[in-house]
Chain A
Amino acid sequence: MVWQPFGKHVPAAYQTSYRVARILLELLLLAIAIHYILSVIYPTLSFSFDFRAPNSLKNNLDEPRLADGSPLLNGKVAAGNVLFADLSAFGNFSQAEAEIDLAENSDLPKELTLSLRRSYRSFFYPTGEPVKTFPQAVLYRVSDTYYELRENILYPFVSAEAFHSRYPESLAQTSSDSLLQKYPVSDQWLGYRVGSLLGFADGVFIVTSETEVRPIASASIFLALGYDFKDVKPVSEEEMGVYKRGRIILRSIAHPDGTILLSKDDGSYLIIENKEKRPLLPSAYRDFLLQEMTPIVVSEGEGNERAECAFESPAGSRKLTCRTPLVAMADNFGDDYELQIKNIDRPLSIDVLSLSLSESKNKENLFSFLIDLRNRIYSRFNYAPQP
């Protein structure tokens, strides 16, 4: 017997039509439910930038720019130039699909190539000068307080732990109280080394500058950034009080200054500073930093792997599309993608640039989703996540 609680008022003449319509309705609802469940398990993430509304909050392709690094906000790219943009997406994506909507007045390109590479965003920075020594600083210890002398002003450290996150004890000259008579003492406190991970209350924060910390939204984002929980330093309310709190980190970001990377290809170390990755040469400084922080593993080889495709458009259309598999980059370190539009053979005026990343419906991605789900449930109930 079919369960039919609502059909008893339907006139007899319409019972058959009602039954057919009911089956169709239930099939439609079932299809919607299955489609929704599949889209949660195997998500397709979409990113776009509308050059007609460059300040729109909907734009989630980050920092569109030209080859020289200058920001691109009007969508106009000269022939021979290259358009860059970044995006962050956690997941095992197997395919990328890009679309370019050209403005009415734009030339139609004969050839145009999409190129994607995947690593950590900070690893895409250009390589800078090598570093070998501690940052230049004049340091004092007066009883239990540490100070740094900058432009004849003494800046106190908020705690001994904050000092030791930046310098070893041996660099501090022990001095008497007379030092405090000699130089004025700033009311600005110095905190932990930029790039440190701080644990306060239930949260983990990254020190992103001398005055700012940013909370990390979840354990999965923390792990996706390549960090290690054992590097999180528990801090007091007083130590946290030195910083103002910046925006919550909801997806991958470029690692802040002070982050150490380890290239698995040749075992070399790099440190992020001022939007450059600088080789960290063997030295006391490097040894000190490695005691403070587990380096984030990267790979030069993987960072240079690219997925590419040529844009195509139906005749007469101003919409260019291209699709490329990402399988070769599936095991790369990092969840950031750098997008390049290159081989631009004539001036382009782009209205909208969009890119979507989709996952294959396979067993590996299903297990990956289930493991992530388990970790998120653990995290919700205050269990340690299992990487």
Chain B
Amino acid sequence: MPPSPKKMSRKIFLFKRDLLFVYHALLSEFLLWAFLGFLALMTFDTIVPNLVSIKMVMTLYFLVLTAGTIVLVFLSRFLDISYERGFPLQKTFLAASYLWLGAVMVISLLRFPNWSLPLFIFGFAGVLFLFSRVFLTRKN
């Protein structure tokens, strides 16, 4: 006896939903590499200005990353996927990130007049703090 239409649509729904898990995993992996690539390109362009940006529109790259991240967030919510906070070597990773941030900032500010440096540093730290408050603070 053939399955009822309701059972069929449920099967199709489950089939599609299962596929979405695959898409979610692939998109996550794509974004991981894309963000790492963006980080590397930004670093190269900071050290040697125009090395990257002369051949690539970095704004467009960033827009693709943002769009991909938004899709991933919606997909995660739809599939009810969440990741635990914390991961192995988190402290090492954070220390390396701060080191990178500091180095990129120092190189970026090389040619600016001395009086403007505190403005840039405090301005950047302020924006970073606000972003961390908005995105990383756990809601009660």
Q: How far is the CB of A162 from chain B (nearest CB, A)?
A: 28
> In the docked arrangement, what's the CA distance between A9 and B32, Å?
17
Q: Contacts A380-B49, A380-B110 given: A18-B24 contact, CB under 8 Å?
A: no
Task: Please tell me if B48 contacts chain A, counting CB pairs below 8 Å.
Answer: yes
Q: How far is the CB of A268 from chain B (nearest CB, A)?
A: 38
> In the docked arrangement, what's the CA distance between A9 and B22, Å?
8
- Contact (Cβ within 8 A) B47 A11: no
Interface members, chain A 138-182 (any B CB < 8 Å):
none
- Contact (Cβ within 8 A) A39 B47: no
Interface members, chain B 4-45 (any A CB < 8 Å):
18-19, 21-22, 24-26, 28-30, 32-33, 37
List the A side residues contacting B26 at CB < 8 Å: 6, 18, 21-22, 25
Q: Which residue in chain B gives the minimum CB-CB distance to A40?
A: B55
- Contact (Cβ within 8 A) A22 B25: yes
Q: How far is the CB of B111 from chain A (nearest CB, A)?
A: 7
* Chain A interface size, under 10 / 10 to 19 / 20 to 34 / 35 or more: 20 to 34
- Contact (Cβ within 8 A) B21 A22: no
Q: Contacts A376-B48, A376-B51, A380-B49 given: A33-B37 contact, CB under 8 Å?
A: yes
Digitize A19-43: 1 where CB-to-B-CB distance is under 8 Å, 0 elsewhere: 0011001100100010010011001
Task: Please tell me if A13 contacts chain B, counting CB pairs below 8 Å.
Answer: yes
- Contact (Cβ within 8 A) A22 B48: no
Interface size on B, residues (CB 8 A): 25
List the A side residues contacting B24 at CB < 8 Å: 6, 9
- Contact (Cβ within 8 A) A9 B19: no
Task: Please tell me if A330 contacts chain B, counting CB pairs below 8 Å.
Answer: no
Task: Please tell me if B79 contacts chain A, counting CB pairs below 8 Å.
Answer: yes
- Contact (Cβ within 8 A) B48 A380: yes
- Contact (Cβ within 8 A) B47 A377: yes
Q: Which residue in chain B gives the minimum CB-CB distance to A379?
A: B48
Q: Which residue in chain A gives the minimum CB-CB distance to B82?
A: A9
- Contact (Cβ within 8 A) B55 A43: yes
Task: Please tell me if B119 contacts chain A, counting CB pairs below 8 Å.
Answer: no
Q: How far is the CB of B46 from chain A (nearest CB, A)?
A: 9
> In the docked arrangement, what's the CA distance between A26 and B34, Å?
11
Q: How far is the CB of A38 from chain B (nearest CB, A)?
A: 11
Q: How far is the CB of A203 from chain B (nearest CB, A)?
A: 11
Q: Which residue in chain A gives the minimum CB-CB distance to B27?
A: A6
Can you name 10 extra interface pairs (CB under 8 A) apart from A14-B22, A25-B29, A381-B110? A5-B28, A6-B28, A9-B21, A9-B81, A11-B21, A18-B25, A22-B25, A29-B30, A40-B55, A380-B107
Instruction: List 11 A-B residue pairs with CB atoms under 8 Å apart, sorted by A's residue number.
Output: A14-B21, A18-B22, A21-B26, A22-B26, A25-B26, A25-B29, A25-B30, A29-B33, A36-B56, A373-B51, A376-B48
